[in-house]
Amino acid sequence: MDGSLAAVVGAAIGAIGGLTGGWLAMVGQSRQRREQQRADNQRWRNEMRREAYASYLAATRELNAACWKVADQLSAQGSTSADWQAALAETHDAWARFSTGSSAVSVAGPRSAADDAAELHRAMRRCEMIVVDWARAAIRDGAAHVDDHRARFASAADAKQAPLAAFQRSAREALGTEH
């Protein structure tokens, strides 16, 4: 083999080695970029879920407090129709924030958390509807009718504890904080 052929073969081997090395580096960078994008997407999704879950739980607590306020106002000696109307208005506002939070969780997912949030939504709706009906009847009649409504409300309030616990568990599982 003469020197020029050896130089050509050497150059070809060098070029192939350079191309192969460049290709492997490009494949590695592409894989690293995909993994980084996947990690960024997971971080974004977890943050979105964390925010949705926290807002939903805060709105749940707020609606619960508003419902209890209506029940307490209706049960209080000396409370008036104006007191009942004010408490009822707070409940309507709390319901709007709660419903918004519920929608955010249904979008954020996953399905297990969304399903448990929907069950909690139904349980909270039962509580809210009892106090709304109770307050409207009291305002209409000028009397609180405490006995029947208070017992129904207390029962609904107890019944929401299991769906609340189920949603919290699903949220922890979705966020990977359930140990």
Give 48's pLDDT tier (boundaries 50, 70, 90): very high
Reference 124, options 75, 171, 66; nearest CA is: 66
Which pLDDT score is estimated for 17?
A: 73
pLDDT in tens, 81-119: 999 999 999 999 999 999 999 999 999 999 999 999 999
Reference 98, options 70, 74, 64; nearest CA is: 64
Which pLDDT score is estimated for 1?
A: 59
Which pLDDT score is estimated for 144?
A: 86
Q: What is the mean pLDDT of residues 141-155?
A: 88
Q: Which residue has the higher pLDDT, 1 or 121?
A: 121
Instruction: Please state, in angstroms and rounded to a whole number, the distance separating the CA atoms of residues 51 and 71.
Output: 30
Instruction: Please state, in angstroms and rounded to a whole number, the distance separating the CA atoms of residues 54 and 101.
Output: 9
Give 146's pLDDT tier (boundaries 50, 70, 90): confident
The type of residue at 13 is I
pLDDT in tens, 69-80: 999 999 999 999
Reference 164, options 60, 46, 93; nearest CA is: 60
User: Average per-residue pLDDT in the chain?
Assistant: 91
Spell out the residues 6+ positions from residue 108 whose beta carbon is closer than 8 angstroms to its own.
45, 48, 49, 52, 53, 114
Is pLDDT at 64 greater than 70 in this prediction? yes
